[in-house]
Structure 1
Amino acid sequence: MKRNQPSTRGKRRPGRTDRDGDVSMDRPQNTNRIGKASSRGGPSRTRPTVNTNALQRELLKSDAPKSQPAPVTNAQFRITGFKGSKASVNEDGGVGSLVAFLEKKLTFNMQKSAKSRGATQPPVKIKRYTTENPDSILVTVTSTEAPYLKRLDNWVFAGKPLKIEEEKEREQPAKETTSNELTDVFVRVLERRYSAEQKLLDLSNIGSDPDLVKLGIFNMASTTSKFFPALMKTLDNQFKTATEKKNAIESVLLQSNQLSDLKTISSLAVTLPDLKNLDLSTNNISTLADLEPLKRKLRKIDHLILSSNPVEQTANWHEEVTKWFPTMRFLNGVQVREAPKAGRDGIPVRPPVFADDSNVAAPFIANFFAGFDGDRANLVNMYYDNTSQFSLQVNTHALREPNSEMPTKNEWDAYIKRSRNLKAITHRHARTARLYRGPDAVREAFSTIPPTKHASDPARWLVEVLPVPCVPDPSGQYPQGVGGLQIIIHGEYEEMNVATGQAVKKRSFDRTFTLGPGGQTGVRVINDMLTIRAYGGFAAFTPEINPQDLVNQLCQATGMTPAYSELCLAESNWDPPTAMAKFEQARATLPPEAFVVG
C-alpha cells in the first residue's frame, strides 16, 4: 500500500520506495522553516501577527492531562517454512541463521520508520526463541516489534518462504485455587521429585508435571513467571533451619525447561545458597548475559552443567563462566580447577555396570580396538555381516579439557563428510546415505577415519555392559529373537602419523555396540555408533566411592567384622578385588574374633 505525499501545486506525487521495495515513510521536508528565507522576493519584512485563537488552543492543550504511552508487552509468533532451506544443513537446523535474518530485517525496517519520525532505533535483538521441531520455532518479541515481524510473513529466507503467525495467549486462566490448595500441590510436586538418598531435587521438564498442568499454571505468562519463586518459597518453608536445608539438598536438575535466561529462576540462589551442583542442560540459554542472574551467587557451586545450550557456541564462554564461580571444579563434566581435597562431592557418579556373565564383552573389547588400531579390514570380516550397521557423528561443540591443545583450522575435515548428526541433517536421503550397512560399506567408512592408537591405561576408559533381551537371530531358529549385549564405551585415542609413527592429535570418543550371536567368532556387531569429540579428559569417569560402602560390601562378602574388613581394604589400597584375594589367602590364619558371630 502506498501513502500519498501532501498535495503540492495541485499534483499528487507517488510515494518513494527503497531498495527492498517498501514505501518510504520519510515525511516531506518543511521548506518554510524558521530562519529560512522565503523563496519569493527575498526575506519577508512584514511583522508577524499573533494568532490569538491558535495561542488559546495551545494553552488549553498544555493544561490537559497528557496521555501515557501504551505499556510495552510481549507477543509470540510461530515461524515455519525454513525446513529444507539452504541453512537447514547447519548443525542447528538453520535456526541461528533464521534468527539473525529476522533481527536484521526488523532492525532495518524499524530504523527506517524511526528515522521518518526524527527518532532513533537501536538494533533489534531477539532474546527469546524456542525450537519446537526442525520446521517450527516460537519467537517472542515486544509489542512494538510485533507489527514489523508480521510484515515478514511470506518473505524468502535461504530459498524458502517463511510462514509467520501470531500465537495468541491461551485465554483460559489457571484454575482458581486457594493459597493452601496451591501450596499442597507444590509440596506434592517437590516430594515426588526429591531423592533423599542422592540429596537431589529433580525439576527437569517441570512444565509437563501432571499436577501443574491440571492447575493450568503454564497457560498464561503472568502465572508462569510467578511459578518458580512460589515453588522456592514453598521449598524454603519445608525446613526449620538453614542447616537442615543445606544438608538435605545438594543438587538441582533444571534441564529441558526452555529457559532462555535465568531471571525466572534467580530465586534459586536465595533459597539454596549452598547448592553444590546445578544442571541447566538442554535449554535455550544463548548468551553470557542470559546467565548473569546467577553470576557470583551460588558461592559454593562445585559442578555446573550447561551442555546443549546455544551459549556453547560463544567463544571462550567456559573461561568466563569459570571466573564467575570461584569454587566450581567441574563444568559440563570437565575438570576446570584442581580439587582442594581428595574425593569430590557432586551429582552422584555411580560405578559402571558390567553384566557379562557369559564373558563375551571383555574379549570383544580387547580384540576390537586392537584391530581398529591395526587392521580394520580384517576386523570388519570378523565381526560385521550384511545386516550390520555403522554410523559416525562429530560433536564439534563439546567442551575441551583445559590443558588440551588448541583447536586447529579444518581439524574435523576427515570426519565431517561422514558425520550423521540428525539435528543438522534432516533430509531422508542424506540420513540414509550416512548409515553404513554391510561389510563393504562399513570397511569403506572405516578407511576414511585417520589411523588411531587407543589409550592403554584402564583409568582412561569407562565401559558399561548391559544385557539386551531380544536381538535378531541370524539362524532364524528363534523368530522372537535371542539374548544380546549392549556395550557403552567412553575413552580416548590419538590420531597417528603412519610415516613418522608420532601422535598428531588427541581426541575423546563415545562408542555404543549392540552385539548378537553369529559371525566368524560367534559374536557379530548388529549396530555400531561412534561419536568423536574434542579431548575432554577422563576426570568424570572415576566413580564416587564411599569407603564405608566398601567396608560394608566386604563384610557381607567375607563375614568379617567391620574392623577387619577396613584393615584388609587399607592394606589393599582400597581395591575390592585385591582385598578379596588377600582375604582368601589369609582366611585359614584369621582368628575367630575376625568374623561376625552368628
Structure 2
Amino acid sequence: MLLFVLGERGKLGGMNRLTDTTGEISRQQVKFDGAFRMNQGTLFRRSYPNLAVVTRVLNADRGDFMVKREVRNTDFTVVGEHDDRTAPQFRSRKGRGSHKGRSYDRSRRDRQRGGHPGGFGGPGPRSRLEDTDGDVTMSDSSQDNSSQHRFNPYGRPFRKGDGRFDRDRRQGKVGGGRGGGGGGGFRGDRGGGSSSGGGGRNQSGWSKVTIPHGRKYDKKWLLTALQNICSVPFTPVQYHVDHDRAHFYVDDLSAATALRKCSHKITDTDGYKVEVHANSSAPPSFLLSDLKPEHLEHLKQCMAKRFDGSQQALDLNNIRTDPDLVSQKIEVTLNRKTHMEAVIRIIEENIPELTCLNLSNNRIHKLDELAELVTKVPNLKTLNLSHNELKSDRELDKVKGLKLAELWLNKNPLCLYFKDQASYISAVRQRFPRLLKLDGYDLPAPIGFDVETPTTIPPCKGSCFCSDEIKALILRFLQQYYSIYDSGDRQPLLDAYHDGASLSLTTPYSSQNPSRSSLGEYHKDSRNLKRIKDSTMRFRLLKHTRLNVVAFLNELPKTQHDIASFTVDVNTYTNTLLSFTVSGVFKEVAVDGKSRDSTMAFSRVFITVPAGGSGLCIVNDQLFIRMATTEEIRRAFVAPAPTPSSSPVPVLTAQQQEMLTAFSQKSGMNLEWSQKCLQDNEWDFNRAAEVFTQLKTEGQIPDVAFIK
C-alpha cells in the first residue's frame, strides 16, 4: 500500500469548498481518539482507476478542523506511459510519450496552488486530490512509512509490472502509448503507417471512425471540416449513421491516427466540440463479397486504359481510387484474395505476354495470390510492389519463381528490418538471382554464366551393396518379406521382427483434405515430425514391440509390390548390425483382388541384426509412403511380378533344359529369370543374349533376377 497524507487546519467554510471539489461518494460518521484530541469526524471516499482516495475532516473542540487525505494504490498497477488521465499541458512535454485524455482547462492560479510542483495541470491522479482554492496543501509529515516510497503516477512503468498490466498492454486494453495510438498493437511507424487505437495488431489496415452524436451533423459539413483540419488526407468509405452516431471507414492507419487527434478541435453551431474516435477494424462489409460480373467488366475496361501495349506494361498503382471505378461505385482492393485473383485472371486471359506490372500503393500485405504469376505471366521482368504493407522478406519466396530483372520494394515495412543495404540486396537476390535493378538503383552484375548451357542430370544408379554376400542376404530377405506382406495375411511377419522392435509410418504433408487424397489411409497414422509437435502424440504414433508392429501392419491396406522396381542401398554394415534402405512402387489391392489405379512409391529403412544361421531380424522399421511420380508410374509393373508358389514350372525338353542351364551360367541370372528371357525371345539363344546385354547395360534388370 502506498500512502501519503495531506493536511491543513482551517475553518468550516474550507470544508465546504473541499466537499464541492472532491465530491462525496460515501459518507459515514466515525469517532476518533487520536493524538489530535478530536472526537468526531466526517469521511469522504472516492475511487479512481487503481487508486482509492479517502478524505477525513476531523473536528476539534475549538471548532477548528483537520483535513487528512490518504491515497491508496488498490492493485499495485503502475500507471505509466499508458495512463489516459494526463492533461494536454503534460502531453506537450518531451520524453513522456503520447498520452490521450480529456481536455481540462484550469486557470494559472489553479495550477500554481493546486497543481504539481512543476506547474503541470490537468486531472492526473494527484491533481484530482487537491483543493482548487488551495485550502489543502501537501504535508511533509507523513504518519506512514510507506510515504517514503511515494507512488509516481507519471513515472515509467516497471519492466516487470504485475501480470494484469502486462496482459492488458499486450491485449491492447491500455490506452495511449507511443506513436499516438491506443492499442499497443503497432510499434510506432515501423510499417510505414502509424498505430491505431482499439488494441491488437491490425492486419487489414482498416480503421472505423466514429462521431458520437454525429446524426445531427450534415454529412458534407462534417467530412469537409475533418478533411480541412486533418493533417493526413483521407478518403471516407461507407459513411452511415447508426442510432445517434455517424461512422465511416478509412484504409490508412496514419489517417486514422490523424483523425483521432482531431477530436475536440471542431466546434459545431451549438458551441459543442466534435468528438472523434478511430479504432482498428475489419474491412467494410460490402468488401467481403466478390466482384459482380458487371463490376468485372468495368474493371477489365479500366485495366485496358492502364495498359501500355508498346511497353507491354500494366499500371495498377492505387487502383481503388481510379476515377472510372469510383464513378461506378466499384471498390477494388488488391489486398483481398478475390479481387487480386480477378485481376490476375484478366491478365491471363487478355495480356499473358505482360512484361511490366505496377502494383504500388494497394495496401498489399501478402503475396499468396501473386504466386500464380509464375505460370500465368512467364515473361514478367519488372514488378513494382512499392508503397505497400509487406512486413517480411519471406513473402518474396512465394514469387521467387519469377525471372525478374527489376523489382521495387521501397516504402514497405520489410525494408526497415535490414541492418544495411548490403544485407537487403543479398536477401532479395537470394530470391531473384538475375535481378539488375532494385528500387530504381542499378545492382552489381550477378555472378554467373553469360550463356546457360543445358545440363543433363546423371542417370540414377542402381542398388549399392557392400559385397555379393550382403547382396544375396538382403535380396533373399526382401523376397521372403514382401511375398508374405502381399499375400493378404501378414501375421507370419512376426518371425521377421525382434521382440523390442519399433515401427513408424510417415507421409508427406498435403495441403488438400488428407481424407480425400490417395494417402488418406496412411495419413491418419503418419508420424511427420515437421507437423506433429506434441510429444504425447509422437510417442503414440510410434509402434513398439513386434506384436504391436505386426498388428499395425495388418491394418494397412492390402498391397501388390513391384519387385522389379526395388532399389537397395546399404547404409551400415558390421558383424552385429545391418542397415539398408529399399525403395520402389506398389499398388493397393481391393477386396476383389484387383489393383487400384493409383500407384504409390515407398522408401523403407530396415535396421536388422543377425538371426539364426543366415537370416535377419528387424529391430527398427521406418516406412515412408508418397504418391508416385509420372516416370515411376510409367515404368511400374511393366512385367508381371513372378508368383513364387502359383503355377507349376512348365515341362522343358532336353534341348531347352540344356540351353537354360547354359544361359543361366553365362548371364548370371537364376533359372527362373533365364527361362523367362529365353521364352520371351522364342528360345533364340543369341537374340536372348543380345536383349539381356542391352537391358543390363540400361540397368533395367532387377537385382532379384540374380538371386540363386
Q: Pick the TM interval, shorter chain.
A: 0.3 to 0.5
* TM-score (norm. length: structure 1): 0.39
Greater relative contact order (Cα 8 A, min sep 6): structure 1 or 2?
1
* TM-score (norm. length: structure 2): 0.33
